[in-house]
Structure 1
């Protein structure tokens, strides 16, 4: 489990463009769940136009960092919860308009994909997922992504390789009976955004 300080200092700034791309897919006034929200950077951006945003993450350090930011910014429409993305989230059926998971699915062992995706289907009308395109492009963004994943730690890198061997989002979503409504690639083809239900 990553450190909240490291994530907010090193990782969050790199993902600014991705978060802006996600925001373009979401209409105003929605109730949103951010799964594996980390330090809440996406949550706070969504909060500027969403009705309500809830972020869940297993890392206590990440959630504490997010709560400190919430306090500092005095934001009233965000909530954070320490929660295992692979288990029962204790939210009502269709409680959210949108559930999203950004750059996190590849971190989990493949045997957890069904649990995560089924819970997202259960609690939300629509799902948005952003993760690596498979195969990654043979360009600087693709190579940078490979290097970042290599240095992310042994288990993280092992799961990244399994995600790639499974064929990425399109095949994982099809195996879990999710219907893709639209998809986009960005960051020189390294990232894929999928809207599904």
Structure 2
């Protein structure tokens, strides 16, 4: 999945990865461009990412503990590209508007990757539902709400994001959507 997102990044792009976790996608971007920021609300995940950054001695990556719905430390259109992978489904749907408003404000192009809706019946759907159930009660509740809302496309369109490209990846389990913030 990370490779599918990374190929949409151009050399020289200034990129932010929102809800970056331990930074796996950020490190993939670092091979392409020289300015990458990863943010996550989890201090422990950011600490893990910073430890890897220091171990690999990469100077042009920055990791910040930050709330995706409150990105006031970044200026309007500061980034060429913002990415969010496998994260929107874990948020309370009541904060989708704030998160998406902030992402639109700080970036020109946005790449979202998350679960496809609907998932085809069978082992894939069962596996996804099991993973989300095991992630905890609140996480699973948010996933179910994401699913009820129809997944990425309806959520993004409700916030007036202009869809440029949509593609199912990894056997249709995930949906990758490229949007313009204008």
Relative to the length of structure 1, the TM-score reads: 0.89
Per-residue deviation, 1:28: 1.6
Q: How many residues align?
A: 180
Alignment RMSD (CA, Å): 0.9
Residue aligning to 1:23: 6
Instruction: Give the corresponding residue for 2:92.
Output: 109
Question: Are 1:34 and 2:11 counterparts?
Answer: no
- Indicate the residue corresponding to 1:7 in structure 2: none
**Cα shift at 1:93:** 0.5
Q: Secondary structure at the match of 1:34?
A: strand
Name 1:82's counterpart in structure 2.
65
Query: After superposition, what is the alpha-carbon deviation per residue over 1:113-162, rounded to whole angstroms, capped at 9, x for unaligned?
Result: 11111111100110000001111122433321111001110000000000
Indicate the SS of the match to 1:127. strand
Q: Structure 2 unaligned runs (5+)?
A: none
| C-alpha contact (below 8 Å) 2:40/2:65 kept by paired residues | yes
Give TM-score, length-normalised by structure 2. Answer: 0.96
Match of 2:108 in 1: 125
After TM superposition, where is structure 1 displaced by more than 4 Å over at least 4 residues in a row?
Answer: none
Structure 1 position 21, deviation (Å): 1.0
2:49 corresponds in structure 1 to 66
Matched, 1:49 2:49: no
2:149 to 163, 166, 186: 166
Counterpart among 74, 87, 96 of residue 79 in structure 2: 96
